[in-house]
Amino acid sequence: MPDDVEEALADHEQRKASERERLKRHMRNVLTTKEGRQFMWDLLAFTGVYRQSYRSDPHATAFNEGQRSVGLMLVSRIDSACPEALDLMRREAADRNAKPVDDDESST
């Protein structure tokens, strides 16, 4: 392979690696706060990543699988950036669900 092609490929791989690290850093920044983890947990719930996609209507199933695919990508990125975050997010969600809703908090 000519040197210029090898250099271009190496440069491309370097840019891809740099972009992956940037995305990991951003994900870690989101996951360092309780609010960020709650946002990500709510987003995962919206995508249906932890529920069955199948519906009797094949179009609804395909739509649900598309949403779930986004959720699985987020789970992969969360796990790559901060492996302990998913477990912490599950525990925090369970704690939120176990607490009664305060009227003052529900209006914010």
Structure confidence at residue 105 (pLDDT): 53
User: What Rg, from alpha-carbon coordinates, does the chain have?
Assistant: 19
Does residue 104 fall inside a structural domain? no
Q: 93 φ, ψ to 5°?
A: -65, -40
Does residue 7 fall inside a structural domain? yes
Among 78, 77, 97, CA closest to 87: 78
Structure confidence at residue 92 (pLDDT): 97
**pLDDT tens digits, one per residue of 9-47:** 999 999 999 999 999 999 999 999 999 999 999 999 999
Does residue 105 fall inside a structural domain? no
pTM as predicted:
0.80
Q: What is the C-alpha to C-alpha distance for residues 15 and 9, in angstroms, rounded to an integer?
A: 10
Does residue 103 fall inside a structural domain? no
Does residue 17 fall inside a structural domain? yes
Residue ranges making up the domain that contains 44 = 3-98
Structure confidence at residue 99 (pLDDT): 82
107 pLDDT higher than 60? no
Does residue 107 fall inside a structural domain? no
Does residue 79 fall inside a structural domain? yes
Number of domains in the chain: 1
Does residue 108 fall inside a structural domain? no
